[in-house]
A and B are shown apart, each in its own frame.
Chain A
Amino acid sequence: MSPVHFIAIPLFAAFLIPLVGKVSKNLVKLIPGIVFLYLSYVAITLFPIGIHKPIVEIIAGFKAPFGISLYYGPLAAFLTTMITLIGFVIWLYSYKFIIREPIEKYYMLFMMLITGSTGIVLTGDVFNLFVFLEITAIAAYSLTAFLRDKDGAEAAFKYLLIGSFSSTFVLLAIVLLYANVHTLNMADIATKISSVPLTTRIFILILFLMGLGIESEMFPLNGWAPDAYSQAPSPVGAVFGGIVVKASIYALMRLIYLMFEFQSVMHFLVIMGVITMLIAEMSAMRQQQIKRMLAFSSIGQMGLVIIAFGVGTEPSVRAALFQMFNHALIKSLLFFAAGYLVFHSGSKKISALDGLGHDKPITSFFFAFGALAIIGLPPFSGFWSKLYVLLSVANSGLFAAVALILFSSVVEAIYYLRVVSRLYFNTEVATDVRRTPVSGLVAMGILTLVILFVGFYPNLVLHWMTPAANELLNKAAYIKAGLFH
């Protein structure tokens, strides 16, 4: 049992899928489920080990920095476990979701989208990071256009163009890094980066900020996100918002904390986070389509996470991780529910949802639950993470940021409650004879229970996030474990 299972097993399954697809299409649907179930087992077995002492796994038998190694520390343990478990739930949801042909290709791309994100989180090598970013990105482009309609093609093309810029920037940054320090291992780079001329370092940082900022939906690089989120099939929207963005933010923060720990970068992150959050929340307010609204809300939440990472104290990083965790759960739930609300109302428009709360009470309940949780009302997990973010930002004396976070929370409450009130308080009752499939309801139910559980016992999760936050802040320990394991 070792961290490389997170990559090797899904890859094996992905190459197997075309063969299985020749035999039975139904069997193909099961494969990602089996893979994620097994990986959940691996994740749960490895988690208690990795959270205490980082596991550095060497690939191909060449020690760092000569070969590639995976770094499964507390942070990676936390994120891979989160990604794997949520990946399983999303698979459960998409099991009965109506998906167009060719379904074997859909499930293959879907599984690789999640595996790419796991790889980003696991790897200890900066070029390997780029490879996994590419895997994630290419799966994402094709899934955005999967429904083969005009809007989907447009969204995917936009995403492809911007994403290619992102890849190029990241690759150029890696080339410059390698040319200057002659190594690709992240821990090794961290030891040698101080010898690089300052202008070069800043240039590399800007390239990384541009490249990974696109994938992390940082303002003003997030123009692709609303289109991609709303045109991709709903389960894929959940993967984008719940998993892919988290992995990209992780990559950006890991590199910044490891290699570019300038004070001004941290200020820059706070400022960009605030702008991202404000603009996204204001745009979400104006949206007519439910999934676009969710996409903008997702960008806004990422802004909040970026602020907390930018503050850079131990409580704030922990709060940022907690917020990422909660957002992954809640945004997946919202996308799940929104997917079936759109399906039942037959339109992507918010105005078409009038009275659906009476016709489809369970799905609507899940949406309302998710909406209340993401606003940050007390019994739900979203409350705690937002509170901790606010507290940590306030403790650093950034009261302007606190005020703006509170302001955007109000905006968030307005647009979410507007949708919820349309669901329940509009008399014009829409009816749809089709039912929401059981697997979809089970997936939403699981997320709901977890959100409620974490809401009541936030310390259980926070307890695991303290080592993860420390790992990000303690550069020396990362270098020591990464190079001299």
Chain B
Amino acid sequence: MRKVIAILLLAVVGYYILGTLLNLPFGQKATGVGKYYLDSTIKETGTVNTVTSIVVSYRGFDTLGEVTVLFLAATGLGAILFDKKGKKRSLQNASLIVKTSSKMIYPLTVLLGAYVFVHGHLTPGGGFQGGAIIATGTLLMFMAYRSFETNHTALTIIESLAGLTFVSIGISGLIWGYSFLQNILPLGTPNELLSGGIIPLIYIAVGFKVGAELTTVLDTLLKTIKG
């Protein structure tokens, strides 16, 4: 009986959700804020990738918040799974094929990740994506080699410095007499690597930060055996 009532209630709720979602004006020409972004990105931010300019410039404050969210998640995970004695990864070795090809793919993955975050203002992708690609590279190594270890101190330092860079770029906007996170560098010529003012700098910092953070998270999660 209770299940029947629950299903009926869900059906009513679902009907209204569907009704609301069907009314959404999707696929139409952008209006409001969206139209403004499409029209003035290149002029105002010097960035050809509109998504990047919205993420890092117009709504850069949100991105700083999201970077913090990831940082908190990684820190929280480290705090909850903290073990003084330290833990080990699974002792099983991968096959020779996996090992050899991982060794070849790993540097290429890191290179691709770096390419993606360095070119965040020109091509699809950016700091988060590039960092995630780098972390998948290390994940491959973690799975292939049981002895592969990352340098935790170095990762922590990279993480901290990258975060500090992001906030410092923001604060320098204040120091220069503009607003927080405002661009203080020349915009350059659109479509060139050195363009977009502070956007590439922020994305490089984010790339390093996300790469280091996700690597730490994977390392923490994979170490399940008491050492």
Contact present for A108 and B75 (CB under 8 Å): yes
Q: Which residues of B contact A22 (CB under 8 A)?
A: 153, 156-157
| Interface contact A61-B160, CB-CB below 8 Å | no
Q: Measured between alpha carbons, how far is A119 from B75 in the docked complex, in Å?
A: 20
Bound Cα distance from A17 to B159, whole angstroms: 11
Q: Look across to chain B and name the residue whose beta carbon is closest to the beta carbon of A156.
A: B80
- Interchain CB contact under 8 A, B59 and A135: no
Determine if A146 and B24 form an interchain contact, defined as CB atoms under 8 angstroms apart: no
- Assess the A15–B20 pair: CB atoms within 8 A: no
Are B72 and A112 closer than 8 Å at their CB atoms?
yes
Interfacial chain A residues near B58, Cβ < 8 Å? 60, 62, 66-68
B26, B31, B66, B160: the one contacting A18 at CB < 8 Å is B160
Main secondary structure of the interface of B (DSSP, over half): helix
The number of inter-chain residue pairs (CB within 8 angstroms) is 167
Contact A182 B75 (CB under 8 A): no
Q: Is the pair A199, B183 in contact by a Cβ cutoff of 8 Å? A: no
CB distance B180 to A59 under 8 Å?
Answer: yes
Contact check, A135 vs B72: say whether CB atoms are below 8 A apart: yes
- From A15, A58, A60, A146, contact of B71 by CB (8 A): A15
Of chain A, the residue at the smallest CB distance from B44 is A62
Q: Which of A18, A61, A184, A203 contacts B33 (CB 8 A)?
A: A184
Given contacts A101-B84, A102-B82, A199-B20, whether A66 and B167 have CB atoms under 8 Å apart is: no
Contact stretch, chosen from A136-144, A346-354, A431-439:
A136-144
Partner-contacting stretch, out of B99-107, B126-134, B137-145, B170-178: B170-178
Complex interface bits, B161-195 against A, C-beta within 8 A gives 1, otherwise 0: 10110111011011000111111000000000000
Residues of A within 8 A of B171 (CB): 8, 12
5 A–B contacts from the bound complex (CB under 8 Å): A15-B163, A19-B157, A138-B72, A179-B24, A182-B30
List the interface of chain A (C-beta within 8 A of B).
2, 4, 8, 11-12, 14-19, 22, 57-62, 65-68, 101-102, 105-106, 108-109, 112, 119, 127-128, 131-132, 134-135, 138-139, 141-143, 145-146, 148, 153, 156, 176, 179-184, 197, 199-200, 203
Residues of B bordering A, CB below 8 Å: 16-17, 19-20, 23-26, 30-37, 44, 57-62, 64-66, 68-69, 71-73, 75-80, 82, 84, 153, 156-157, 159-161, 163-164, 166-168, 170-171, 173-174, 178-183
